[in-house]
């Protein structure tokens, strides 16, 4: 259900961006997102929600692409990076240390927008 609110935020950000570009004169082809694995977003739900929300609007023909960013942590004992797993309590496999530092996976970003001028 939270994907609905994320979509609202995304559309508002798109509106803000488009105002600077002269919205009437552009066609947005792709909105390229980066979504981290350590977020509450289900990518397919976000795409479906977006597609339903923009029907009949200026973003109707726009496509969402999602690059999934892996969840990566850093072991605070030996500084090695690792992919935390729920099954292992997110601990580092090298030193069995708790997850202190997250390197990536918390991203919720509009990375870029591909558009054409009419």
* Residues in contact with other proteins by the rule CB under 8 A: 1-2, 4-6, 8-10, 12-13, 16-17, 21, 29, 33, 38-40, 86, 89-91, 98-100, 108-118
Cα–Cα distance list, 6 to 17, 66, 80, 97 (Å): 16, 14, 33, 33
Query: Quick one: which of 27, 33, 30, 25 has its CA closest to 9?
Result: 33
Q: To which residue do tokens 């980066």 refer? A: 34
Question: What's the min distance (Å) between Cβ of 56 and other proteins?
Answer: 21
Phi and psi dihedrals of 91, rounded to 5?
A: -75, 155
Taking the least distance from each CB to other proteins, the nearer of 58 and 115 is 115
Name the pairing type of β-strands 63-69 and 81-82: unpaired
Question: What's the min distance (Å) between Cβ of 80 and other proteins?
Answer: 17
Question: What's the min distance (Å) between Cβ of 35 and other proteins?
Answer: 8
Taking the least distance from each CB to other proteins, the nearer of 53 and 91 is 91
CA atoms of 11 and 114, how far apart (whole Å): 15
Question: What's the min distance (Å) between Cβ of 55 and other proteins?
Answer: 19
Taking the least distance from each CB to other proteins, the nearer of 60 and 114 is 114
């Amino acid at each position: 259900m939270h994907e609905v609110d994320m979509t609202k935020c995304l559309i508002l950000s798109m509106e803000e961006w488009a105002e600077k570009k002269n919205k009437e004169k552009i066609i947005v082809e792709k909105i390229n997102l980066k979504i981290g694995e350590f977020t509450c977003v289900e990518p397919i739900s976000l795409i479906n929600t977006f597609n339903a929300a923009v029907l009949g609007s200026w973003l109707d023909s726009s496509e969402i692409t999602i690059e999934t960013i892996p969840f990566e942590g850093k072991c605070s004992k030996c500084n090695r990076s690792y992919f935390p797993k729920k099954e292992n309590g997110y601990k580092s496999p090298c030193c069995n240390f708790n997850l202190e530092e997250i390197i990536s996976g918390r991203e919720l970003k509009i990375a870029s927008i591909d558009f054409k001028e009419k």
